Structure formats: C-alpha cells, structure tokens
C-alpha cells in the first residue's frame, strides 16, 4: 500500500509511533486533537484512521476516539506494518519472526512450484535468475533487490497455493527492510546467487526435492546471517 498526500504524511508519523510503542497500547487518538496537532482537515484524519483500522492498529468508537490495540491484534503481514516495525526498536524481533516464517513457507512453495508452475512462470524465474547474477556482479543493490523480490514472489505464486502467493508482499517487505537497514553485504554473495539459479533450474526441470533443498538453504542461511549480524 502506497499512501500519498496528507493522509500519507499523517500515517508516516502515527504508524511508526504506534509500532514502536511511542503511542502506547490503550492510548486514544481523537480527531480534533490530530487536526489541531497536524494542521489537517477532518477528512484527512478520517482517511488516515481508516487505514490504521484496516491494519488493526486502532479501533474506533463514536464519541470515544481511536484506541491503540495490542500487538497481538495487528495485521502483522501488512507491508506497511512490517516497514514501521523494522524502523523501530522491534527490528531484530521482527526480522527473526519473519525469517522463521520464510523458513517454514518458502521451501514448501518451491517444491510445489516445481510441480505446478506454468510455462510463463518458469520462463520468468529463469530470466530473474539471470538478472540476479548480472546485478550481483555489478554490485547494483537497488536492481538486485527489485529482482530478488520478484523472484521470491514468483516462486510463491508458482506454487499454485493462494495462501502462499499472498505472502509475496510480506517477503518483499522483509527483503527491502534488510537492505534499507544495511543488513545485507555490499555485494550479494556468489553462493546465494548460485542457489537462486539452482531453485529456478529445479523448478523449470520439475524437480521438487532439489527446489525445496536449494530454497531451504537460501532462507535458513539468511536467518543465520541475520542472527550473526544482530547478535
């Protein structure tokens, strides 16, 4: 979700403040106070609060205001919620939690993709594996990240499982966060790029065990590197 304009600017303040605990659980956000504090209209406040409600960060009641909800009720898969949590003190726990999710899901998705992927998806994975190799050698982290996000999202879609496919944006937010917060090497490691090629080749060849093994090595390695970096 990419929120533009005044509602986006208001969210850019409120979202991270809620995610970090600066605005604590149980705090009440009142429209008139937000209008005055940020110098925006009631319509802008209403739109921003509506988005926070959709993420389950707040619950609104008439004549009360919008109450900040406990973390257990948040939509923790929402890419914006992930981005806000990664920007705060919760970063390490958030990354480890999402890394564990990837370990549980992505190897299974790769195995399914080896059985279920369409011809177009196989071609797309092959092309992305080439792009990852080229951009890694050039140390072009911005382009590498874009291709990496597309690669993992394509594997999830190619699994044929709509639940897995829905996690594409979540994984993309994790990969983006790792890069933005300088938790990635300045140049992608050759063995990681090679493993992506192995995943693509195994899926294209219809070899589920090899696809699962290579993807598991990728995501387990990413989690281990994260633990070593964060300490």
Per-residue pLDDT reduced to its tens digit, 44-68: 999 999 999 999 999 999 888 999 9
Question: What pLDDT sits at residue 126?
Answer: 98
Burial class (CB in 10 A: 0-12, 13-18, 19+), 112: buried
Which comes out higher in pLDDT, residue 5 or 176?
Answer: 176
Q: Which residues of 43-56 are buried (b: 16+ CB within 10 A; e: fewer)?
A: ebbebbbebbeebb
In this predicted model, what pLDDT tens digit does every residue of 6-38 receive, in sequence order? 788 899 999 999 999 999 999 999 999 999 999
Mean pLDDT of 143-164: 97
Token pair of 169, please?
Answer: 């944006």
CB 124 within 8 A of CB 132: no
Question: What pLDDT sits at residue 231?
Answer: 65
CA gap 128, 131 in Å, rounded: 5
Residue 4 confidence (pLDDT) above 70: no
CA gap 25, 36 in Å, rounded: 22
Mean pLDDT of 202-212: 98
Question: What pLDDT sits at residue 217?
Answer: 97
Question: What pLDDT sits at residue 179?
Answer: 84
Question: What pLDDT sits at residue 164?
Answer: 97
Q: Quick one: angle between helices 168-180 and 91-116, nearest 10?
A: 130
**Max mean pLDDT range (86-95, 114-123, 175-184):** 114-123
Report the chain's C-alpha Rg in angstroms.
20
DSSP state of 70: P
Residue 3 confidence (pLDDT) above 70: no
> Collapsing DSSP states into helix, strand and coil, what is residue 60?
strand
Question: What pLDDT sits at residue 186?
Answer: 77
Question: What pLDDT sits at residue 69?
Answer: 98
Average pLDDT for the chain:
93
55, 146, 166, 223 alpha-carbon torsion, rounded to 10°: -90
Report residue 2's pLDDT band, with 50, 70 and 90 as the boundaries: low
CA gap 176, 45 in Å, rounded: 28
Question: What pLDDT sits at residue 34?
Answer: 94
- Which residues neighbour 58 within 8 Å (Cβ) at sequence distance 6 or greater? 18, 29, 49, 52, 66, 67, 68, 69
Report residue 1's pLDDT band, with 50, 70 and 90 as the boundaries: low
CA angle 56, 57, 62 (to 5 degrees): 80
58 membership: H or E segment, kind and range: strand 58-61
């Amino acid at each position: 979700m990419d929120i533009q304009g005044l509602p986006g600017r208001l969210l850019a303040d409120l979202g991270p403040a809620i995610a970090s605990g600066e605005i604590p659980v149980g705090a009440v956000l009142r429209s008139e106070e937000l209008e005055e504090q940020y110098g925006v209209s009631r319509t802008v406040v209403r739109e921003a609060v509506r988005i926070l409600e959709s993420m389950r960060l707040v619950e609104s009641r008439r004549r009360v205001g919008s109450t900040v909800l406990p973390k257990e009720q948040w939509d923790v898969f929402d890419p914006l919620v992930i981005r806000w949590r990664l920007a705060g003190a919760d970063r390490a726990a958030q990354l480890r939690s999402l890394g564990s999710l990837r370990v549980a899901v992505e190897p299974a998705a790769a195995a399914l993709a080896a059985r279920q992927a369409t011809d177009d998806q196989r071609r797309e994975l092959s092309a992305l594996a080439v792009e990852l190799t080229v951009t890694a050698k050039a140390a072009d982290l911005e382009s590498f990240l874009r291709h990496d996000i597309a690669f993992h999202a394509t594997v999830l879609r190619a699994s044929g499982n709509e639940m897995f496919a829905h996690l594409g944006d979540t994984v993309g937010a994790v990969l983006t966060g790792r890069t933005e917060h300088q938790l990635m090497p300045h140049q992608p490691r050759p063995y990681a790029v090679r493993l992506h090629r192995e995943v693509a080749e195994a899926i294209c060849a219809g070899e589920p065990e090899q696809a699962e093994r290579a993807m598991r090595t990728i995501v387990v390695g990413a989690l281990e590197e994260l633990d070593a970096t964060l300490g």
